[in-house]
Amino acid sequence: MTITMQGDAPRSGLAGPSAVRWLAALFCALTALTLAPLAIWPIPPSWDLVNHWARLTLFHMAPGDPLAALYQVRLAPIPDLAIDLADLALSPLLSPESVMKLAWCAAIVLPAWGAWRVSKALNNGAPQPAILFVPVLSYNLVVTLGLVNFAIGMGLALIAFAAWLTVDRRRVGLRLAAFNAISVVLFFCHLAAFAALALLVALYEAKPHVHESRREWAKRLLISALHFAAGVVLWAFAPPIESHFSGPGSKIASLAAPMFNQTVEAGVLATLALVVALSAALMTRRVAFAPAMRWPLVGLLAFVALAPPTHGAADFIDARMAALLAYLVFASLQGPHAARARGWIAAVAVLVAVARVGAALPFWAAYNAEAGEFRQAFVAIPAGARALVVSPPPGRCPSLDAEDFARGLTGFVAIDRRALVSTLFTGLGMQPIAPRDPRLAEIPWTAPSLDWIARRVPDWQSLYDTVIALHVDCDWRPEQAGWAPAAEIPQATIYRRP
């Protein structure tokens, strides 16, 4: 396999195999450090993770399970199935909970490994010291929100891009077969991950080669596009995606994405601090970006700046790519070349990683305590019930920063109580499950207010027998005649019809 990158040949930032092994060992240790809290607390504080867990639970419904009368499984060639396919493959060995935890670990390990592979490909097999900062990105917005399928796909896309950098271009048939197979895998992982790899390859190949005619340039781009034909065909023939429940989105999320830290504001500040530190390092001229990566980095940055936060059913479009850009930035850095400077970089990377994980520990503890409270309160919900999750009217509780995380925990209604819950994702073309009663699909899984529901679905009370009102620390409580409180915790109140 020969390396066929364009641009100046990079200088190695490490001297010899022993130094590479040392860097690899430290890189693995820092990545493992980000996974360590899972040995203390059973549930990662990742908003959509419980929703994934609940969906996997439906794959294991026995004929007499109350869930079987409420939900149906409808497997189809749709994207965003990474965890689902993993569960089907591993179900003889692992429970849905174990698969969920394994998927969360993969969402951290695969992007880190992908960045390592890109750095290695750009530097003749010798990753650069800056790669040690990649584990600091582990708790990004993608992972924290539980966009696990995309995170896994992002890692595979980085690994595939590293292969593109080093593949023997003379073996066109092998390349076409391999990358079309990769495009199929990425399609089923997540559509945005497939699009990300295609975008990276397009940006990398867009730079004209020396002494290359326009016709040769166009031919090379056309051949590059053919490597992703299988994924495009799957995309074209996939079922339409239900899109009328997508959120409003915000560009600010893209600024917070690389260093998201429980709140958007903290994530933005942490990302800005990272940008300032990186800019200062670049100004010393001891580190620089690999010449071959200038077009991909600039192009991806432009995409993040110009892309809308949402489009149809897709959400956090720019934020997802911002997380990918952060991994690619550290993978593309070269230098410094002095041994003493490399030692300082390693020391700083260790300190930052320890601080990053340490700062997250209180949130791990609080999230698992909150999950325990929710699960205890859900004992009031009988098996086979139909639970509607609602939130306060707009503007009633403006400080509900934790509402999304509380909403994610309502998936335990399906897991523990074997009951239907309105927040479980069941979008057409997006998920392989659906409620058996099609009228239930009229209620969005975003926990709207009762006022909104009353306007859109006037007969909602005939569809549900349980209401979970999320209020976190707000004093709001819904007022509905004929409903009585069955359980209450600081985050929510559960109502049942007597």
SS3 annotation, 435-496: ECCHHHHHCCCCCCCHHHHHHHCCCHHHCCCEEEEECCCCCCCCCCCCCEEEEEECCEEEEE
55: in domain: no
List the domain range (segments joined by +) for residue 462: 381-496
- 398 and 282 in a common domain: no
Q: Say if residue 386 is in the same domain as residue 337.
A: no
Residue in 416, 407, 476, 472 with CA at minimum distance from that of residue 444: 407
27, amino acid identity: F
303 lies in some domain:
yes
Q: Are residues 354 and 451 in the same domain?
A: no
- The pLDDT of residue 172 is 84
Same domain, 82 and 219: yes
Amino acid, single-letter form, for residue 149: N
375 within some domain: no
In-domain check, residue 370: no
Q: Whole-angstrom Cα distance, residue 191 to residue 336?
A: 37
- Residue entry with tokens 């509780």: 397
Do 68 and 17 form a contact (C-beta atoms < 8 A)? no
> Strand 466-470 vs strand 386-390: parallel, antiparallel, or unpaired?
parallel
Q: Is 242 left (phi over 0), alpha (psi -120 to 50) or beta?
A: beta
Indicate whether 354 and 390 sit together in one domain.
no
CA distance 312 to 61: 31
The verdict on whether omega for the bond into residue 336 sits within 30 degrees of 0, i.e. cis, is yes
Q: Are residues 388 and 351 in the same domain?
A: no
CB contact at 8 A, 79 and 185: no
- In degrees, rounded to 5, the angle at the alpha carbon of residue 261 between the alpha carbons of residues 191 and 375 is 80
Q: Are 215 and 297 in a shared domain?
A: yes
Q: What is the maximum span of the chain, computed from C-alpha positions, in angstroms? A: 80
Residues 146 and 218 in one domain: yes
* pLDDT < 50 positions in the chain: 1-14, 402
Residues 245 and 332 in one domain: yes
Q: How many domains does the chain have?
A: 2
Question: 85 with 39, same domain?
Answer: yes
278 and 421 co-located in one domain: no
Name the domain boundary from 299, 330, 360: 360
Helix (H) or strand (E) holding 322: helix 317-332
Final residue belonging to a domain, choices 331, 360, 389? 360
Domain stop point among 315, 331, 360: 360
- Residue 309: predicted pLDDT: 85
Cα(329)–Cα(327) distance, integer angstroms: 6
What is the Cα gyration radius of the chain? 24
In a domain, 137, yes or no: yes
Q: Answer whether residue 64 is part of any domain.
A: no
123: DSSP letter: T
Within a domain: 2: no
Q: 122 lies in a domain?
A: yes
Looking at residue 36, its pLDDT comes to 97
Looking at the structure, tell me whether residues 273 and 125 fall in a common domain: yes
Q: Kindly report, residue by residue over 181-209, the tens digit of the pLDDT.
A: 999 999 999 999 999 999 999 999 998 88
